Amino acid sequence: MLINVNKLLSPEILSLLRSMGHGDRFVLSDANFPSYSHAAKLYRMDGLTIPEAAAAILTHFPLDSFIPYPVQRMEIDGKPDEINEVHKDLINTVHKVSGPDWKVGSIERQKFYVEAKKAMAVITTSDTRPYGCFMFTKGVLKPDGSVWII
C-alpha cells in the first residue's frame, strides 16, 4: 500500500505516469475514441468521466511549461473555437488541480488521430460526451519536487 495516491489510479496507470519523461504525451479519451487502433499502449478507467479521470491523473502528473499548450483538446468539426461541455469540464479540472495559469489548446480532429498514434499511451474513460478527447504533455520536476514553471 502507498499513501496519498489517488484511489482511481490503477498500478498500471501509475507505472505509465512514472515512466514518462519530459515531453512524453498521453491521450485521455472518451468512450467513442478508437482507442484500440490508436494506442501504443491502452489503459482503461472504466466508469469514470473525463474530469474524474483527469483530476486523479493530474494529482501526480506535472504539466509541461516549456510549450504553450501542455493540454490540447480535440476540436469540434467545423467549429474549432467552440468549447463544449466536456471541454469546459476538463479546463476547469486542469485549473482546479494543476493551477489557474495552465492553458488548454486545440487540435483539429483528424490531426488529433495522427498525433494520438505518436503518444505513449491512450487512457480511455466511459465518458460519452462528444469530442471528449485530450492530449497531455509531461513536464519537468525541480529537485524539490515542484513543477518547473518557465
- Which pLDDT tens digit goes with each residue over 43-96? 999 999 999 999 999 999 999 999 999 999 999 999 999 999 999 999 999 999
**Model pTM score:** 0.96
Q: Residue 20: its pLDDT value, please?
A: 97
Q: Is 64 part of the annotated catalytic residue set? A: yes
Asked if pLDDT for residue 4 goes beyond 70, the answer is: yes
Q: Is 22 part of the annotated catalytic residue set? A: yes
Catalytically annotated residue among 30, 38, 64, 87: 64
Q: Residue 150: its pLDDT value, please?
A: 82
Of 39, 31, 115, 34, the C-alpha closest to 71 is 115
CB under 8 Å to 73, separation ≥6 — which residues?
Answer: 83, 87, 90, 104, 105, 106, 107, 131, 133, 134
Q: Is 95 part of the annotated catalytic residue set? A: no
Q: Residue 1: its pLDDT value, please?
A: 67
Distance between CA atoms of 147 and 89, rounded to whole angstroms? 23
